[in-house]
Amino acid sequence: MTKNRISFILLMFLAAVGMIVACTNPFKDLEISVNSNVFKNVVNLEVSSSAGTSLDNATISISGPDAGKIYNAEGKKVFKVTGGFLFLAVDPNVVISEQAPLNVNVAISAANHLGVQIPVKITGSEKIAMRKVVLLNTTASSTEMAIKNTSVALASDGTPAADVTVNIPPSSGSSESATIMIPAGTQFRDANNNVVSGTDLKVSMIVPQTGSENLAAVFPGGTGLTQPAIQTASGTSAGTLLPGGMSEVSFTLNGTSITNFSKPIDLDIILDPDFINPGTGQKVKAGDKLGIFSFSSNDPVWKQEQEATVQSSGGKLTVNFSSSHATWFLAGSFIEGCDNDLKIKLTADWLGNGITHPVTVKVYSAVDDHADKLLVQKNITASDGSELSFDNLPKAPVIIKTFDVDENQLSATTVADPCNGGLQTISMAASPVAGNPKTTMQLYVRCPNQAQRVNVLPTFYLYYKVHGQTGYKLLGIVTNGYISTTLLDPGKKYDFRAVWGATVKDVNNVTVKADNTATVGDNPAAGEILGTKVGATNLEMLREKCKEAGL
Amino acid sequence: MKRLLILSFSILSAVMVYAQHGNDASSHEGRRFSAGIHVGTQGFGINAGYQLHHRWVAVLATSYAPYGYTATRTLGKNAYDIKMKEQLGNVQALIGWKPFSGVHTGRFLQRLYIQGGVAAFYKEEANATAKPKEDYQYGDIIIKKEDLGKVNAQVTWNKIAPYGGLALRGLELGGRFAFNADLGTYYLSKPQVHMTANNLLSENVSQEAAVQKNLSDYRWLPVLQVGVAYHF
């Protein structure tokens, strides 16, 4: 009896110990990953050509006081346009705010295009800021941009033997044009003020249609018609330039860019007759005084050079002036900029429940409660309550309009005083192209030889187009593999393009469902995908990224 | 925990040898009440006993155990300093039954009880906090480990848990003092895991299910403790 009891007690003890020892290692399969989105503030420049050509071979240079704090998506100092995007990320160790913003200049140059220098101010108000940058193609005219490239034969001493006149006619539907007259005996000098010799002077002239909305995208300075710094007789300040006429004049002699001349050349710019002169509040007329401003890529700040009187000649309004340097010229008016940013909050009932939509916000100058010139625009992947801000707006009424991904207008709001520093709430009407049922897309990634899916995914931009059509449109920003939208029509086939830093991946001919879940992996039998193009390359990329992540 | 178990076992062995000798010297027969202190795997505490019958004893005890433990582990690509902190406080109500009481039973077995009961945990916290051990390099950028953030896992159980085990009670130390020892286990409810994380580690809360699964077998909480009681 006693032995039985002892045996029972021992058995009970051993059973308890066995159960305790059988416990699983609490750290089994546990992987703690550092988020690949290490950046707190990102600026994504959507770089395109006015001719629609790819600028992925453009040369990029980042300068300015805070250039050292800017990296690419991989945390490196190599900058490249990929898939039409230039990704600029702020060192995550740097704390920025509206009181302590970062300022850098982004120079983009490409063959057959006018180079641009874009001042980028990063305040942190938008974690992912998007901006469009358009480089002017100097070989392709359009209805909104007259372009002329011609040659002038010089004498053997490198000067014109007689006065030379070059005229660029207006583009179709426009009355704006320009004429230059180069005096005989003019010597041509480079940036170091050295006289350049040669006999074949290449002259390039561009005249944009100043009443066009597209002017803001190509306006020198890279920030639309609002500029962070404009030099006038009273000093340098932020402000807005309202052009009545513009022209770019550049010369190349013997392969060397000409910066200035030994004699002033005469310029005659024919104005847009519909230009509203802010000084009078009326359409421009003979006798009005307009400022003449210039902008050179060597010193990318608009400067007021002189004042010119509008003249009427042959039924056209012109300004005539002379200058001793080649550059952009603008005849128009300057309006001083606000000290405070204009903060905007976008509200939309149809953007609830996590749905996002690419919204373009445009700020116009206001004339008699009507939108006149497009000053500046921003793009945002908006949800209900999204906020953004505009700086350097003019101390004058503006009209703010919002547009959906197909350029359908969603709202128009007049802001009498954009300088008051308050929050302007704008309610957006439902987009007619966003009436589809809510579609969610969830992407998972499983590394080869791993049972578990990756728990941290990078944030990337997702573009879409109906399968077979051309021209991708932004669907939105995919955060940790997830996006929710009403832009897609369940049942239809789409092509998708994902852009993350220097990585661009296409997935084509996908029939969208209301709930789209996919896992990127190397097991097609389990329904995993590797993309519809270059699957082997994608697998290698997946392996490489997983190896980098230690998975 | 391992050191505490070894220490408890050593004390238990030494005192049992001493108490065997003490058994020969005197007895607590006739004194039904006892009050004592104890120390062991569930920390330290006080207890009170009442001899209901020569084979039955009732015990009421309370214990408190603050544990801390730090380790470095590689979880994924990076190493993390993991600080584990546990606080257990309970009130136990037990009934003990003496299986050996015959006159021919050895004196040691005569003090052996099979105990069962229930405990109410007024303090039951188990936390693990993982912080990166090293700075993190992303491309050319060095992110300080302090800025990477931390991952915290909090584990909780139901506050009521049954208890079963063996006990040696009343091994005489001299005078009215006696030695007690307990070996047993609580059977806890399935643990609930709640993970929080911040900064660049914030997405790791998705690991909650994995930790929950790993800890699902952690239902046996062993007890090994020794104590001294005064009989009156």
Chain B residues 2-31 with a CB less than 8 Å from chain A: none
ipTM computed for the complex? 0.72
Which chain A residues touch B77 with a CB distance below 8 Å?
Answer: 33-34, 549-551
β-pairing, A423-427 vs A342-347, is parallel
pLDDT at A271 over 80: yes
Residue of B nearest to A37 (CA): B200
Does the CB of A32 have a partner CB in chain B at under 8 Å?
yes
Q: Selecting from 2.40.30, 2.30.30, 3.30.230, 2.60.40, what CATH number does the domain A439-548 have?
A: 2.60.40
Q: What pLDDT digit, counting tens, does each position of A298-343 carry?
A: 788 999 999 999 999 889 999 999 999 988 999 999 999 999 999 9
Tokens of A137: 């193609």
Which chain A residues touch B136 with a CB distance below 8 Å?
Answer: 34, 38
| pLDDT value of residue B131 | 94
Q: A3: which DSSP letter?
A: H
Helix (H/G/I), strand (E/B), else coil: A8? helix
Q: Which residues of B92-127 are buried (b: 16+ CB within 10 A; e: fewer)?
A: bebebebbbeeeebeeebbbbbbbebebebeebebe
Chain B residues 152-171 with a CB less than 8 Å from chain A: 164-166
| CA-to-CA dists, residue A306 to A237, A323, B99, B219, angstroms | 17, 10, 112, 86
Judged by CB atoms closer than 8 Å, whether chains meet at A38 and B138 is answered as: yes
CATH number of B2-231: 2.40.160.170
The pair phi, psi for residue A540, each rounded to 5°, is -65, -40
How many other C-beta atoms lie within 10 A of the C-beta of residue A105?
17
- Cβ atoms of A488 and A464 within 8 Å: the answer is yes
Q: A25: which DSSP letter?
A: P
Instruction: Band the pLDDT of A231: cuts 50, 70, 90.
Output: very high
Judged by CB atoms closer than 8 Å, whether chains meet at A38 and B215 is answered as: no
β-pairing, A342-347 vs A386-390, is antiparallel
**Mean of pLDDT over chain A:** 86
Does the CB of A67 have a partner CB in chain B at under 8 Å?
no
Q: What pLDDT digit, counting tens, does each position of A425-446 carry?
A: 999 999 998 888 888 877 776 6
Highest CATH level, class, for A342-427:
mainly beta
In angstroms, the separation between the Cα of residue B205 and the nearest Cα of chain A is 9
How many other C-beta atoms lie within 10 A of the C-beta of residue B17?
10
Q: What pLDDT digit, counting tens, does each position of A107-137 carry?
A: 999 999 988 888 888 887 777 777 888 898 9
Contacts 24+ apart (CB under 8 A), A468-476: A468/A493, A472/A497, A473/A358, A473/A405, A473/A406, A474/A358, A474/A379, A474/A381, A474/A405, A475/A358, A476/A356, A476/A357, A476/A358, A476/A381
| pLDDT value of residue B10 | 47
Q: A93: which DSSP letter?
A: T
**Cα A464 to Cα A507: distance, rounded to the nearest angstrom:** 10
Tokens of A551: 């998975």
Nearest to A35 among B128, B184, B203 (CB): B203
Q: A452: which DSSP letter?
A: S
| pLDDT value of residue A543 | 63
Residue of B nearest to A94 (CA): B143
How wide is the angle at C-alpha A348 spanned by C-alphas A344 and A349, nearest 5°?
A: 155
Which chain A residues touch B112 with a CB distance below 8 Å?
Answer: 9
Amino acid in position A153: A
| pLDDT value of residue A6 | 58
| pLDDT value of residue A345 | 95
Judged by CB atoms closer than 8 Å, whether chains meet at B203 and A5 is answered as: no
pLDDT at B30 over 80: no
Q: Is the pTM of this model over 0.80?
A: no
Mean pLDDT of A546-551: 58
Taking alpha carbons only, the member of B125, B126, B115 closest to residue B162 is B115
The length of chain A, given as a count of residues = 551
The pair phi, psi for residue B209, each rounded to 5°, is -65, -40
Judged by CB atoms closer than 8 Å, whether chains meet at A35 and B99 is answered as: no
Q: Which helix (H) or strand (E) holds A147?
A: strand A145-153
Taking alpha carbons only, the member of A37, A36, A42 closest to residue A102 is A42
Nearest to B214 among A5, A26, A75 (CB): A26
Chain-centroid distance, C-alpha B159: 15
DSSP A387-402: EEEE-S-BSS-EEEEE
Q: What pLDDT digit, counting tens, does each position of B127-162 carry?
A: 999 999 999 998 999 999 999 999 999 998 899 999
pLDDT at A3 over 70: no
Which chain B residues touch A22 with a CB distance below 8 Å?
Answer: 217
The length of chain B, given as a count of residues = 232
Chain-centroid distance, C-alpha B52: 27
Nearest to A92 among B73, B141, B183 (CB): B141
Among A201-210, A249-258, A450-459, the minimum mean pLDDT is found in: A450-459
Half-sphere exposure of B52 (CA within 13 A, CB side): 10
Judged by CB atoms closer than 8 Å, whether chains meet at B139 and A20 is answered as: no
Mean pLDDT of A354-382: 91
Does the CB of B103 have a partner CB in chain A at under 8 Å?
no
Instruction: Band the pLDDT of B2: cuts 50, 70, 90.
Output: very low
Does the CB of A22 have a partner CB in chain B at under 8 Å?
yes
Which chain A residues touch B155 with a CB distance below 8 Å?
Answer: none
**Cα A60 to Cα A120: distance, rounded to the nearest angstrom:** 14
Which chain A residues touch B187 with a CB distance below 8 Å?
Answer: none
Tokens of A208: 């944009």
How many other C-beta atoms lie within 10 A of the C-beta of residue A146?
22
| Residues A323/A329/A335/A340 CA torsion (nearest 10 deg) | -110
Instruction: Band the pLDDT of B101: cuts 50, 70, 90.
Output: confident
Taking alpha carbons only, the member of B101, B225, B228, B98 closest to residue B173 is B228
CATH number of A42-135: 2.60.40.1120
| Residues B9/B14/B16/B20 CA torsion (nearest 10 deg) | 170
Count of CB pairs separated by less than 8 Å, A with B: 124
- Cβ atoms of A365 and A394 within 8 Å: the answer is yes
Mean pLDDT of A194-220: 93
Helix (H/G/I), strand (E/B), else coil: A535? helix
Where in the sequence of chain A do the CATH 2.60.40.1120 domains occur? 42-135, 342-427
DSSP chain B: -HHHHHHHHHHHHHHHHHHHHHHHH---TT--EEEEEEEETTEEEEEEEEEEETTEEEEEEEEEEEEEEEEEEEETTEEEEEEEEEEEEEEEEEEEE-S---TTS-HHHHTEEEEEEEEEEEEEEEEEEEEESS-EEETTEEE-HHHH--EEEEEE--SEEEEEEEEEEEEEEETTEEEEEEEEEEEPPPPEEEEEE-GGGGGGGGGHHHHHHHHTTTTEEEEEEEEEEEE-
Judged by CB atoms closer than 8 Å, whether chains meet at A38 and B200 is answered as: yes
The pair phi, psi for residue B217, each rounded to 5°, is -90, -5
- The helices-and-strands tally (H runs, E runs) of chain A is 3, 37
| pLDDT value of residue B130 | 93
How many other C-beta atoms lie within 10 A of the C-beta of residue A89?
25
Instruction: Band the pLDDT of A186: cuts 50, 70, 90.
Output: very high
| CA-to-CA dists, residue A312 to A180, A287, A307, B20, B53, angstroms | 18, 9, 16, 124, 123
Helix (H/G/I), strand (E/B), else coil: A525? helix
**Cα A411 to Cα A433: distance, rounded to the nearest angstrom:** 15
β-pairing, A282-283 vs A276-277, is antiparallel
Place of tokens 């995908």: A529
| pLDDT value of residue A483 | 83
Does the CB of B138 have a partner CB in chain A at under 8 Å?
yes
CATH number of A145-336: 2.60.220
Where in the sequence of chain A do the CATH 2.60.220 domains occur? 145-336
Residue of B nearest to A551 (CA): B76
**Cα B100 to Cα B2: distance, rounded to the nearest angstrom:** 31
Q: What pLDDT digit, counting tens, does each position of A484-528 carry?
A: 888 888 888 988 888 766 677 787 888 888 777 666 666 666 666
Judged by CB atoms closer than 8 Å, whether chains meet at B214 and A93 is answered as: no
Judged by CB atoms closer than 8 Å, whether chains meet at B141 and A91 is answered as: yes
pLDDT at B5 over 50: no
Contacts of A367 (CB under 8 A, 6+ apart): A276, A281
